[in-house]
Amino acid sequence: MFSFTKEQKVLDIKGVRVGGQPGVNPTLIITGFFFKSKPDRGLAERYIPGLISLSGKLGNPVIPDFFIKREEYVDDVVEIIKEILPGDHPFSVDIVDPAVKVKTLERLHEEDMLSRTIYNSIHVGVTSKEQEALEEYKPEAAIVLCFNPKDNSVDGRIEVLENSAHLNDKGLLDLAKEVGVDKLLLDTAAMSPGENSGAALAAIPVLKEEYGYPVGCAIHNVVEKSTWLKNYDDVYRVVDASSNSAVPLFGGDYVISGPVEYYNTVIPLVAWFDILVSEYTEGYFGVEPSVNHPRRRLLR
């Protein structure tokens, strides 16, 4: 269990609080929609109400992460978010193609939805047009992906934050500052087995101590790439869900938990580990859980 000497930032993203010393705020669960499919209104209608209801019951905040693969999907995804995600609930947009990123920012601006938006993500491949769009259409928060193509060590993650490993003319933190996004969630970039996959977890406490920003990752991606594990059907899904428990254990603040279909398993599982962490950090470090923490919701 960890307590950090660096002051820890707590971000408020439209009422969702993330970050801080381990044991204070419950782990944020960012759960994926449409990663392997076109925008699917039915899927969103089916899962979003249950997701939000379970989050309210256990205390762990949830933010839907909408993957947008192609430009022609942008309008549909924005419509789905507008119509199905209640009120001001925040969401993230997960996009690889820079042109799609720019189009999405424009659309979200037109719909006055940028104040609910987490931009996923800023990384060493950010283009100048994307930077211009980010300056013009500022999202509420951004995930900063600490993937370093030159160095998959924990230090390599720090290097891209500091100077983009010289693949861009400035470090990712300066880049985010320059475009004016100051609510940042650091993603430690989970890599495949054989590529120092454990470094994504080891980097969590290091980055928190170094920078104080909320830190997390999509650790389930490592499970997805563990092809040998797929020979064990019964275990595969268990490991996929339980991999998320490593993030709070390493002092992290959020998990990108994979497809929404498994939220019923992931949210209680993460809540259980949050309680475990909170009991220790309160007893040893005197860190009290927030009012919405699962430990308060479920045990008191």
Partner 1 sequence: MSKRLMTTVVGSYPVDVDALSLIRSYYESEEVKWGYYIESAVGDMVKAGVDIISDGQTRDSFINIFIRRLEGCRVRARPEIIAPIRYKEGIILDDYKYVKNMITSTTRLKGVITGPYTLAKSCVDYYYYDTEKAAYGFAEALNEEAVRLQGLVDYISVDEPFYSQELPVYSKELLSTLLRGVDKPSVLHVCGDVSGIIPDLLDQPVDMLSHEFKASSFLLDEFKEYWDDSKMICLGVVRADSQVVETVDEIKTHIDKGLNVFGDRLVHVAPDCGLRLLPRKVAFQKLSNMVEAARLV
Cα(202)–Cα(87) distance, integer angstroms: 37
Nearer to partner 1 among residue 151 and residue 261 (C-beta): 151
Q: Any idea which residue has 């408020």 for tokens?
A: 12
- Say which residues have a Cβ less than 8 Å from residue 300's Cβ, sequence separation at least 6: none
In 10 A of CB 93, how many CB atoms? 26
Nearer to partner 1 among residue 106 and residue 174 (C-beta): 174
Cα(199)–Cα(246) distance, integer angstroms: 12
Nearer to partner 1 among residue 115 and residue 192 (C-beta): 192
Minimum distance, C-beta of residue 24 to partner 1, in the bound complex (Å): 28
Nearer to partner 1 among residue 133 and residue 277 (C-beta): 133
What number of CA atoms fall less than 13 Å from residue 133's CA on the CB side?
A: 20
Minimum distance, C-beta of residue 124 to partner 1, in the bound complex (Å): 5
Nearer to partner 1 among residue 102 and residue 271 (C-beta): 102
Minimum distance, C-beta of residue 212 to partner 1, in the bound complex (Å): 16
Nearer to partner 1 among residue 28 and residue 222 (C-beta): 222
Helix axis angle, 263-285 relative to 233-242, nearest 10°? 50
Minimum distance, C-beta of residue 129 to partner 1, in the bound complex (Å): 12
Cα(262)–Cα(59) distance, integer angstroms: 17
Q: Any idea which residue has 């989970």 for tokens?
A: 190
Nearer to partner 1 among residue 125 and residue 268 (C-beta): 125
Minimum distance, C-beta of residue 194 to partner 1, in the bound complex (Å): 8
In 10 A of CB 59, how many CB atoms? 23
Minimum distance, C-beta of residue 145 to partner 1, in the bound complex (Å): 8
- Say which residues have a Cβ less than 8 Å from residue 134's Cβ, sequence separation at least 6: 105, 119, 122, 142, 179, 180, 181
Nearer to partner 1 among residue 123 and residue 297 (C-beta): 123
> Are the C-beta atoms of 245 and 12 separated by less than 8 Å?
no
Give me Rg for the CA atoms of the chain.
Answer: 18
Sites of contact with partner 1 (CB under 8 A): 96, 98, 123-125, 127, 145, 147, 149-151, 153, 155-156, 158-159, 162-168, 171, 189, 191-192, 195, 221, 224-225
- Say which residues have a Cβ less than 8 Å from residue 245's Cβ, sequence separation at least 6: 269, 270, 272, 273
Minimum distance, C-beta of residue 226 to partner 1, in the bound complex (Å): 11
Q: Which amino acid is at 13?
A: I
Minimum distance, C-beta of residue 144 to partner 1, in the bound complex (Å): 13
